[in-house]
Amino acid sequence: MNNIMIGRFVPGSSWVHRLDPRTKMIVTFVFIFVMLFASSWGTYALSAVFVVLAIRLTQQPFKLYWDGLKPIFWLILFTVVLQLFLTPGTPVVLHVGPLQVTWPGILNAIYVMIRFTLIILMSTIMTLSTPPTSIANALESLLAPLNKIHVPVAELALMLSIALRFVPLLMDETQKIMNAQKSRGMSFSTGGPIKRARAIVPLLIPLFVGALQRALDLANAMEIRGFKDAASRTKYRILLYGRQDVVAFIGTLIFVLIFIGIKISGV
């Protein structure tokens, strides 16, 4: 639980930390969109280089990101297995009962694993180097034109900020409840899948109760401080683009152009 990095902010003074949160959000969205069109070893290699360079610019160890991938490993593995056995084509490499493993299925499985890993790493870079409040402010700023069609952008940004802030808190709370139940003889790692699933039920009940109580306390605190309408609030921190943001946009544009070139050439 403590290794889940998505939603956690690690303070720092790196080049990525100093970027405007809107820049990091735009770059992340562009990268995720571009990854949807990756279909060759060249495009994936270029995307991997882009992500590794971004990780280096955060001045955080690679082990931190690797540990953050471990809790999501089973989700990635499940998706890879589906691609491996459910992708039709020829030649057939292996028969497993009524299922078959084809060479296109193997390629798709590898591509999906790389795509998921790179997207998760890029999203982790944004959340790791940006405070939750800055992410909410960036989203509100980027979606500001939607106010003209009466979309509650400020309220949506507030909900996102609260959700991002609660993710690590819920993870920490889960770990505390697990440790308390382990000290009373509860085991979450022994027995079959059914026994393990049943062991989670006593964990979920206090977790949901604690989450609801925390939400009520937050709502009461906001009402006491006079919070009524998110749209009428002023900002303590004003978002401003700088030179480093221009460099980030130029670097992202170069990445996209090279990606398109590789895609067209079929490398």
* % residues pLDDT > 70 (the chain): 90
- CB-based burial, 163-194: b 16+ in 10 Å, e otherwise: ebbbebebbebbeebbeebeeeeeeeeeeeee
Report yes or no on 80 lying in a domain.
yes
Rounded CA-CA distance 169/7 in Å is 10
Does residue 174 share a domain with residue 85?
A: no
Residue range(s) defining the domain that contains residue 195: 152-233
Number of structural domains in the chain:
2
Contact status, residue 27 vs residue 241, Cβ threshold 8 Å: no
Does residue 121 share a domain with residue 9?
A: yes
| pLDDT bucket at 258, cuts 50 / 70 / 90 | very high
Does residue 213 share a domain with residue 120?
A: no
pLDDT, position 78: 84
pLDDT, position 1: 47
Does residue 256 share a domain with residue 124?
A: yes
DSSP assignment, residue 232?
G
Average pLDDT, stretch 18-44? 91
What would the pLDDT profile of 122-131 be if each residue is shown by its tens digit? 988 888 888 8
pTM, to two decimals: 0.75
Report yes or no on 138 lying in a domain.
no
Report yes or no on 75 lying in a domain.
yes
What would the pLDDT profile of 40-94 be if each residue is shown by its tens digit? 889 999 999 999 999 999 988 888 888 777 777 778 888 888 887 777 777 777 7
Does residue 38 share a domain with residue 62?
A: yes
Residue 227 has pLDDT above 90, yes or no: no
Does residue 157 share a domain with residue 244?
A: no
Does residue 104 share a domain with residue 8?
A: yes
pLDDT, position 4: 57
Q: CA angle at residue 10 from 181 to 212, to 5 degrees?
A: 45
CA distances from 154 to 29, 81, 167, 212, 248 (A): 20, 41, 20, 23, 27
